Amino acid sequence: MVQALEVLSLPADGPLDDMLDTLLARLANGAYEDDVAILAARQRAKNE
């Protein structure tokens, strides 16, 4: 997982707004599946 984050340059502990901005920027080129999974996991953890 950490290696995947390094490739995506998306920190797992970064601010959610920054992560969302990165995700939206990547939607156009298809590099978003892992970003969506990270955001979903963070949201679930936040709601627990």
* Predicted confidence (pLDDT) at residue 10 exceeds the cutoff of 70: no
Query: Can you give the pLDDT at residue 19?
Result: 78
Query: Can you give the pLDDT at residue 14?
Result: 77
Q: In sequence order, what are the residues at sequence separation of 6 or more whose Cβ sits closer than 8 angstroms to the Cβ of residue 4?
A: 34
Work out the pLDDT band at 9, boundaries 50, 70, 90: low
Domain membership of residue 14 as a residue range: 2-47
* Predicted confidence (pLDDT) at residue 4 exceeds the cutoff of 80: no
Q: In sequence order, what are the residues at sequence separation of 6 or more whose Cβ sits closer than 8 angstroms to the Cβ of residue 36?
A: 23
Its pTM stands at: 0.37
How many separate domains does the chain show?
Answer: 1
* Predicted confidence (pLDDT) at residue 44 exceeds the cutoff of 80: yes
* Predicted confidence (pLDDT) at residue 24 exceeds the cutoff of 70: yes
